[in-house]
Amino acid sequence: MKKNVLLPLFILLFIAKAQGQQWIGTSTYPTFSQMYPRSNFSSVAIGFKFSPVISYASLESSKEMKDLSAGSSGLKMTLGPIVDFYFSERYAFSTGLWYTVKAVNFDVNANFYNNQAFVSAPLTTDEEKGSKAEFNLQYLQVPATVKMFSSDIINNLPLFLQFGGTFDLKIAEKPQNIASNALVQYRDRVAQGDKIFGLGDVNVLLGVGAETPLGRGSEKLFFGIQYQRGLVEINSFNNMITKNNQFVFDLGIKF
């Protein structure tokens, strides 16, 4: 799955670099607004990011799920192309396509195995009681955000604020330690074969960062931090509400 996702992302990056050099590389090429006269955008910058992520879930549980609680955070990653459409010198609409892995982890109290599902169908010899239920969820994220740039704080280092949201499509659901994963065991007794998590997510995104030129060309290094707060209940079970949140340590290059 990762290879199937990363190949088109790198193809997009190659195309983006060529177009970015054509549009904003030198003054001998037309600007974005010259190429598309009806557009309100003055220029476009295209790049790629590879960013570590601290991912964690929040949980509200009741009834047969009351013995589950939110577990530890996980260190994951997000990567993919970005596109900044500038509609003035200091404002840009920023989007892209990011491959993102999120951690969703739960702690499991031993009393969880006393609920009716396990009383009716006890653990098999291939299963064991677990104290955790951990998952890696893989998404394609499409951000829709606005960036506001400051004047240079120090030489050639403007700051920017970023806000908006992301729309996430789940492409893979990977349970960890299946033999002792309590939610997988529960799923197999009440809804065998069904997915534990839904198809998508929506996040509020807030961020701050900075950009600095690399040499004398159009390339820029950008870095910063984002907070993404999940708005959608992502699991498929009753009596538990799970939402995912992330701190993203952004690092990338714009062309």
For residue range 86-108, list pLDDT tens digits in order. 988 889 999 999 999 999 999 99
Q: Which pair of tokens denotes residue 69?
A: 């609680």
- Residue 177 DSSP code: S
Tell me if 80 sits within 8 A of 48, measured CB to CB: yes
| 50 φ, ψ (degrees, to nearest 5) | -135, 110
Position 178 confidence tier, pLDDT thresholds 50, 70, 90 = very high
Residue 36 has pLDDT above 70, yes or no: no
Q: How far apart are CA 76 and CA 104, in angstroms?
A: 11
| CB atoms near residue 230 (< 10 Å) | 20
Q: Which of 159-168, 175-184, 209-218, 226-235 has the lowest mean pLDDT?
A: 209-218
Q: Is 110 exposed, middle or buried (0-12, 13-18, 19+ CB in 10 A)?
A: exposed
pLDDT digits (tens, 9 = 90+) for 43-59: 899 999 999 999 999 99
Which helix (DSSP H) or strand (DSSP E) does residue 83 occupy?
A: strand 74-88
Q: What are the boundaries of each domain within the chain? A: 2-254
- Residue 199 DSSP code: S
| 217 φ, ψ (degrees, to nearest 5) | -85, -165
In sequence order, the β-bridge partners of residue 61 are 240
Q: Which pair of tokens denotes residue 158?
A: 């403007």
Q: What average pLDDT is seen over the chain?
A: 86
pLDDT score at 214: 86
Structural fold of domain 2-254 = Porin (2.40.160)
Q: What is the largest CA-CA distance in the chain?
A: 75
Residue 193 has pLDDT above 70, yes or no: yes
Residue 176 has pLDDT above 60, yes or no: yes
**C-alpha dihedral, 61 to 64 to 70 to 76, nearest 10°:** -110
Section 61-73 average pLDDT: 95
Q: How far apart are the first and last CA of the chain?
A: 28
Position 41 confidence tier, pLDDT thresholds 50, 70, 90 = low
Q: How far apart are CA 96 and CA 44, in angstroms?
A: 12
Q: Which of 123, 117, 250 is nearest to 181 (CA)?
A: 123
What does the angle CA 248 – CA 251 – CA 255 come to, to the nearest 5 degrees? Answer: 135
Residue 151 has pLDDT above 90, yes or no: no
Q: Which of 234, 246, 243, 171 is nearest to 206 (CA)?
A: 246
More confident residue, 229 or 157: 229
Q: How far apart are CA 105 and CA 108, in angstroms?
A: 10
pLDDT score at 150: 87
| 249 φ, ψ (degrees, to nearest 5) | -100, 90
